[in-house]
């Protein structure tokens, strides 16, 4: 019965906000309009389509609001006008009582709240669809905030997700756009995201790692998690006192250097993505604050680490090279990198793809660099690549959305912000370090124990291959030769890499002491290693 009432509510909202106009297919549009006519819920079509969708989601409640926020992070699926409007969704709901909050805290910590906190503010600092936050003071006098998952929210989520899946299945079955957008998969991904947000221990772990990554940096501060008071259902963390990044007037009054502040936002983004490969993927203005203690050297503070992103090692490398190639307007290299990375099929015509990329990028680069949005250019580039059957990975989509947020925020603070000039030296330095002798040495050192473990297995592999070759009939000779070639490639690759590693290692002063300064050892080992890698 609850499902039926909820379904009626959805139909009513869809009709009053005329969301039927989103449907272009005649077949499904007629069915939807007939349903709306039967329930008599047609409304007047007012406002843009994005605004009407946003209002409808806000009326349907917290879970649909969160879904709209997720859609706003998918510019690969949602048109820009709708994505922009959905980004305005405010995840604010009436708070539940402080008594219920205390009950949840005491159940999670197995004790009285007065035994764990000397002070507890019964007025919430924030109240959202998933969780609520209150201020408190620990027994040792430390100011903290307590975050608790909203009671009963899991059941509500399950009910609404089921209805979303039914709706997505219906649209995907009868709509061309539904099939193209993979709506069922989008809703399924959303289910995973929102249920993961229910586990506050996961958010705490993300925050702890992000804090660790910036422990030696003065540009980003992440609140400390008090693990002795935290669990799956409760998160206790250091309380921060800072200015919201959106409070431009206060930042101005305190003499903040907006140029440095905006450029540090770009630096933080690229540091997270390339140096740490672990980035905050929900960096909207509500999650970002500024420490104004030192106006000429401001520090960012980030909260709410529920959604984080990372890339594969290959995607990291190709993304860095792509951005540099775009900056240098080397469109053929951009096309080749897309193909080499596997983002675009290997049988794609490089010439055709290059022409398509040039058509998108070249008009953009006719403007001054500080007017060119790196994030929007990435969106346009990925849209072009999708016409060549590009399958974008979730990590790249999160990266794209985060860059849009960071760049947009930076330009609000300092309109002349040039992210290209800030990014270029960082990316060039990252690539140099990654593939310098020291960087290669570091990678070889990480893999060396695995190679050493596999090394004794190579002679038996060769022996088995030879034995198998002697016992096979003439009809299997081709397979034997293939097996031998494969075995030799494995052996030469591993041996070559091992010798290259020895050559590099013995070239370093601290290792030369061990090898009695025999420089010829490093030269000989390195040369033999390279030869084995080439002949394989």
Active site residues: 282
What is the SS3 assignment for 74? coil
* DSSP structure string for 19-39: GGGG---HHHHHHHHHHHHHH
Q: In degrees to the nearest 10, what's the CA dihedral of 215, 217, 222, 225?
A: 10
Q: CA 365 to CA 357: how far, in whole Å?
A: 12
DSSP 248: H
Question: Judging by beta carbons within 10 Å of its beta carbon (0-12, 13-18, 19+), is residue 156 exposed, middle or buried?
Answer: middle
Q: CA 383 to CA 387: how far, in whole Å?
A: 7
The token duo for 223 is 């609140």
Q: Compute and round to an integer the Cα radius of gyration of the chain.
A: 28
Q: CA 255 to CA 294: how far, in whole Å?
A: 9
Q: CA 143 to CA 236: how far, in whole Å?
A: 10
Q: CA 415 to CA 258: how far, in whole Å?
A: 10
Which residue, chain included where needed, has tokens 């909260």? Answer: 303
Of 126, 300, 328, 283, the C-alpha closest to 214 is: 300
End-to-end C-alpha distance for the chain, whole angstroms: 68
Of 446, 430, 189, 419, the C-alpha closest to 326 is: 419
The token duo for 445 is 């050192």
Q: CA 48 to CA 69: how far, in whole Å?
A: 18
Q: CA 532 to CA 535: how far, in whole Å?
A: 5
Q: CA 211 to CA 225: how far, in whole Å?
A: 10
Of 212, 272, 201, 192, the C-alpha closest to 235 is: 201
């Amino acid at each position: 019965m609850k499902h039926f009432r909820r379904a009626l509510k959805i139909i009513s909202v869809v009709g009053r906000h005329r969301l039927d106009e989103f449907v272009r297919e005649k077949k499904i549009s007629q069915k939807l309009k007939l349903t709306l006519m039967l329930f008599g819920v047609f409304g007047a079509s007012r406002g843009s389509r994005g605004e009407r969708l946003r209002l409808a989601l806000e009326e349907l409640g917290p879970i649909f609001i969160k879904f709209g926020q997720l859609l706003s992070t998918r510019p690969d699926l949602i048109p820009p006008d709708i994505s922009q409007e959905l980004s305005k969704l405010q995840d604010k709901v009436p708070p539940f009582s402080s008594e219920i909050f205390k009950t949840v805290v005491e159940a999670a910590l197995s004790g009285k709240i007065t035994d764990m906190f000397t002070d507890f503010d019964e007025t919430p600092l924030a109240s959202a669809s998933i969780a609520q936050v209150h201020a408190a003071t620990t027994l040792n006098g430390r100011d903290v905030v307590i975050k608790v998952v909203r009671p009963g929210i899991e059941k509500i989520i399950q009910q609404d997700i089921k209805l979303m899946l039914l709706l997505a299945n219906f649209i995907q079955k009868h709509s061309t756009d539904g099939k193209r957008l993979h709506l069922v998969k989008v809703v399924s991904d959303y289910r995973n995201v929102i249920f993961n947000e229910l586990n506050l221990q996961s958010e705490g772990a993300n925050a702890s790692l992000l804090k660790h990554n910036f422990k030696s940096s003065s540009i980003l501060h992440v609140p400390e998690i008090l693990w002795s008071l935290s669990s799956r259902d409760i998160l206790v963390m250091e309380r921060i006192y800072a200015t919201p990044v959106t409070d431009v007037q206060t930042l101005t009054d305190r003499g903040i250097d907006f140029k440095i502040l905006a450029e540090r936002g770009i630096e933080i983004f690229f540091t997270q993505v390339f140096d740490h490969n672990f980035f905050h993927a929900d960096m909207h203005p509500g999650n970002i604050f500024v420490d104004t203690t030192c106006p000429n050297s401001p520090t960012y503070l980030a909260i709410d680490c529920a959604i984080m992103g990372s890339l594969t090692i290959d995607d990291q490398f190709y993304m860095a090279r792509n951005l540099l190639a775009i900056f240098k307007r080397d469109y053929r290299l951009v096309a080749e990198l897309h193909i080499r990375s596997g983002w675009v099929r290997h049988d794609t015509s490089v010439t055709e793809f290059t022409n398509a990329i040039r058509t998108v990028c070249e008009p953009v680069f006719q403007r001054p660099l500080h007017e060119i949005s790196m994030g929007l250019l990435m969106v346009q580039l990925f849209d072009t690549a999708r016409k060549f059957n590009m399958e974008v990975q979730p990590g790249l989509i999160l990266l794209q959305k985060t860059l849009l947020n960071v760049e947009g925020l930076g330009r609000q603070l300092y309109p002349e912000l040039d992210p290209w000039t800030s990014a270029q030296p960082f990316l060039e330095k990252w690539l140099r370090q990654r593939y310098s002798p020291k960087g290669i040495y570091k990678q070889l050192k990480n893999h060396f124990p695995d190679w050493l473990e596999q090394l004794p297995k190579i002679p038996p592999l060769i022996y088995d291959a030879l034995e198998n070759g002697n016992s096979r009939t003439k009809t299997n000779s081709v397979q034997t030769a293939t097996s031998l070639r494969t075995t030799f490639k494995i052996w030469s690759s591993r041996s070559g890499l091992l010798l290259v590693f020895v050559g590099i290692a013995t070239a370093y002063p601290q290792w030369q002491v061990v090898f009695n300064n025999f420089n010829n050892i490093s030269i000989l080992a390195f040369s033999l290693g390279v030869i084995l890698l080439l002949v394989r």
